[in-house]
Amino acid sequence: MARLDSLVIFTTVVKANNFTNAAHSLGLTPSAVSKQISLLEDRLGVRLLNRTTRSVSPTEAGQLFFNRCNRILEDLEEAEHMVKDLDTSPKGTLKITATPTFGRAMLMKIFSEFLHEYPDVNFDLVLADKSLDLVREGIDLSIHLGSLQDSRLVARPVAKQNVIMCATRRYIELHGRPDSLQDLNNHHMLMVSGIDYAEPRWIKRFIKEANLQDKERRFTVNDLDTMCEACLHDMGVAALPTYMIQQELDQGSLEHVLPEVVFPKRTIHIVYPENRYLSAKSRAFIDFMADYFEKNALR
């Protein structure tokens, strides 16, 4: 059996933690798989797997060997995809993750326009408030707001997120318009918790400058869409991304209050794992998103 085949068998066994399951996925018998692993260990002169009657696990040497072998096989797979994509137009399923708020507010329009141009692409959208492991979850692209913590990811900036203080016209008619940060103590405050949609350090500084540490909040929720709904139902003053509320601002039902209060803008990135070949559909979507926000900048 070719050396490359033995690497495929070895990595499959490690991923399956079991000879029988690995054999089933490879279309071989468990005894044939076990024999190939033994031959590989003999050739290398080192034990790669710890064996029990129910499962197998890599030794220290086996784990090191697996990491390198798995990378080699992934590189070969990417090379095949790269060659296949040379003369093909974007097609297939594109799996993307984004925050629920951004996904609901922005992505359906973008997806719709993209599909007019690339009708052979399908979307699989995963909405999550937390960062996901793109490789483990099989995700092609992530739309990420703010700074990146994982240095293994490549990020292309496509837009800026703006956050403003706002309240409905009816709320202002009932309670007046706040004249200063300190005046917010005389108003109902709506706050979001547990979601990093605005710079946390800025929020802490904002609360300190407005002297809101002991202020009783009218409403606190860990979901940005729900806080937006509370604001739109005249419940109080909130800090919200403009992409969520631009229509209400344009119509005048929602008003920008305290325009002198400036939130730091946060960069919106499209993110993907480093050292990964980007498929034609991924490249097309990244370029489309960048072009879309160049023509339709977030206000």
- Domain hosting 280: range is 92-160+266-295
**Residue 169: is its pLDDT beyond 90?**
yes
pLDDT in tens, 55-89: 899 999 999 999 888 888 877 876 776 676 655 67
What is the mean pLDDT of the segment spanning 247-258? 93
**Residue 2: is its pLDDT beyond 80?**
no
pLDDT at 260: 87
pLDDT at 72: 84
Is residue 240 within 8 A of residue 230, CB to CB? The reply is no
Are residues 60 and 187 both part of a single domain?
no
Are residues 148 and 102 both part of a single domain?
yes
Are residues 99 and 234 both part of a single domain?
no
**Portion of the chain with pLDDT greater than 70, in percent:** 86
pLDDT in tens, 189-206: 888 776 555 444 556 666
**Residue 295: is its pLDDT beyond 70?**
yes
Are residues 59 and 138 both part of a single domain?
no
The residue out of 65, 85, 105 marking a domain boundary is: 85
Q: Please give the residue that has the higher pLDDT: either 7 or 209.
A: 7
Considering the domain boundaries, does residue 136 fall inside one? yes
The residue out of 38, 62, 85 marking a domain boundary is: 85
pLDDT in tens, 157-168: 998 888 899 999
Are residues 251 and 168 both part of a single domain?
yes
**Residue 91: is its pLDDT beyond 90?**
no
Give the max Cα distance, the chain.
83
Considering the domain boundaries, does residue 261 fall inside one? no
Q: Where residue 278 falls among pLDDT bands split at 50, 70, 90? A: confident
The residue out of 85, 102, 120 marking a domain boundary is: 85
Are residues 32 and 98 both part of a single domain?
no
pLDDT in tens, 202-213: 566 666 766 666
- Averaged confidence pLDDT in the chain: 85
Q: How many domains does the chain have?
A: 3
- Range name among 72-86, 91-105, 126-140 with the lowest pLDDT average: 72-86
Are residues 117 and 176 both part of a single domain?
no
Rg (CA), the chain: 26
pLDDT at 149: 67
**Residue 175: is its pLDDT beyond 70?**
yes
Is residue 35 within 8 A of residue 1, CB to CB? The reply is no
Are residues 74 and 27 both part of a single domain?
yes
What CATH number has the domain bearing residue 169? 3.40.190.290
Are residues 156 and 169 both part of a single domain?
no
Are residues 226 and 270 both part of a single domain?
no
Are residues 81 and 97 both part of a single domain?
no
Q: Please give the residue that has the higher pLDDT: either 205 or 103.
A: 103
